Amino acid sequence: MKKSIVKYVQACDSCIRNKHSNQAPPGLLQPIELPNKPWEEITYDLIVGLQMSEGYDAILTVVDRLSKMVHFIPTHSNATAVDVANLFVNFVWKLHGLPRKTISDRGPNFNAKFLRQVYSRLGIEPHYSTAYRPQVDGQSERLNQFIEIYLRHYINHRQTDWVAALPLGEFAYNNGKHAGSKHTPFFACYGYNPDFTVGNTKESSVPQADEYANHLKSIHEEAKAALTIANRTYSEYYNRKHCEATKIEVGSKVFLDGSNIRTIRPSKKLDNRRFGPYKVVEQLGKYTFKLDLPKSMEVYPVFHTALLYPKPVDDYQRDPVPVPTVVTPEGEEEYEVERILDSRKVGRRLKYYVSWKGYGAEENSWEPKTHLKNAPEKIADFHRDHPDAPGP
């Protein structure tokens, strides 16, 4: 009896869509293959939401994937692709030459036509992290932790002087031992460590100069401590909170986690937790899959397995069977309206959000009132239940 109940609930469509999962997210951390030489492959990230400091409110972080050497570049949260390209030339290219590959998220700062065209002309291969899955190899995560910990120690109460703290923070990070390689990024890149020693105070010293030197030493030591905290074994911490991914086959159907999917429903808290099921059309990596999504979703269709839930086989045959379309005398296909879910006005045009009989929620669509001439009862039912909704 218990097995039957568990099996029944596991394949319940409504349960899959709406219940919270208590399981660890699937998919252990998978490091990306390393490049052959320093600054051949780099990762970009943009830290935003900072208080304005010297006219800047964001930090562009650039990391060499082999040596782990970094550059912290103050910039603006609304930086365009042109701005990013200029920062690349001024802070990276002039020091290290052209990379072969870049890795970033899909934000417009990094994925605009301009930047992709520049990459194409320069022979750079851009790569982008999976939709809503920024943990490419944990590198950006650790770096962001370091910056936040370090800056908390040295910025003022109003948080308006963080730009001045970046140069020493960058030096300290590059001169601190990396947990993985056991070498500093400086040594991994150049083969030596730059000197940073503050000698003892001399009798003939200048007090103000001594105070400044000790201040630099204090910042350097604090930055090294921040790096130690942020550099704790990230993969082990990550994997403790994750489980091995469930096997997903190309051609099978999966539900998609709805955490990052925008819908028209008023409250995200009460919205479906998963959407679908959608067909898996391609496997792009060990944990990355491409789905066949409706065009109306306007979402990049590649997702990490942590966001996917395989559709279980339902022995109780509760899957909706698509109703055959009706062909009108004019030769047009016509689908039956199950119910109207919502309404809105676009300019003077009234549209209804329609659930189609025999089809899942992924097929719901906005339709102008003129397309629903054969469903006046459904429209009347909707406005009776929702008298405040936009109507004729």
CATH number where 361 lies:
2.40.50.40
Domain assignment of residue 317, yes or no: no
CB environment 355-364: b (16+ within 10 A), e (fewer): bbeebbebeb
What would the two tokens of residue 334 be? 């016509």
- The answer to whether 104 and 87 have CB atoms below 8 angstroms apart is no
The CATH number of the domain holding residue 300 is 2.30.30
Residues 6+ apart with CB under 8 A from 295: none
Residue 100 sits in the same domain as residue 170: yes
Most distant pair of Cα atoms in the chain: their distance: 104
Predicted local confidence at residue 7, as pLDDT: 53
Residue 257 sits in the same domain as residue 192: no
Host domain of residue 371: 326-385
Predicted local confidence at residue 356, as pLDDT: 86
- Three-state SS for 237? helix
Domain assignment of residue 319, yes or no: no
* Closest residue by Cα to residue 369 from 389, 388, 387, 391: 391
Residue 254 sits in the same domain as residue 167: no
Residue 128 sits in the same domain as residue 159: yes
In the predicted model, residues of the chain with pLDDT beneath 70 are: 1-34, 106-114, 129-141, 179-181, 196-245, 260, 263-271, 296, 314-334
Residue 197 sits in the same domain as residue 292: no
Residue 48 sits in the same domain as residue 166: yes
- The answer to whether 85 and 126 have CB atoms below 8 angstroms apart is no
Residue 278 sits in the same domain as residue 334: no
CA distance 283 to 245: 14
Residue 273 sits in the same domain as residue 374: no
Residue 54 sits in the same domain as residue 197: yes
Q: Is the peptide bond before 26 cis (omega within 30 degrees of 0)?
A: no
Domain assignment of residue 284, yes or no: yes
Domain assignment of residue 321, yes or no: no
* Closest residue by Cα to residue 31 from 137, 138, 102: 137
pTM higher than the cut 0.75: no
Question: What is the gyration radius of the CA atoms in the chain, in angstroms?
Answer: 27
Residue 9 sits in the same domain as residue 89: no
Q: Which of 173, 208, 236 is the last residue of a domain?
A: 236
Q: Which of 262, 279, 310 is the last residue of a domain?
A: 310
Residue 73 sits in the same domain as residue 217: yes
Three-state secondary structure string covering 90-148: HHHHHHHCCCCEEEECCCHHHHCHHHHHHHHHHCCEEEECCECCCCCCCHHHHHHHHHH
Residues 6+ apart with CB under 8 A from 207: none
Count of domains in the chain?
3
Domain assignment of residue 349, yes or no: yes
Domain assignment of residue 220, yes or no: yes
Domain assignment of residue 262, yes or no: yes
CA distance 276 to 280: 11
Q: Which of 310, 342, 368 is the last residue of a domain?
A: 310
CA distance 153 to 382: 57
Site of tokens 């998609």: 256
Q: Which amino acid is at 154?
A: Y
Residue 12 sits in the same domain as residue 58: no
The CATH number of the domain holding residue 166 is 3.30.420.10
Domain assignment of residue 316, yes or no: no
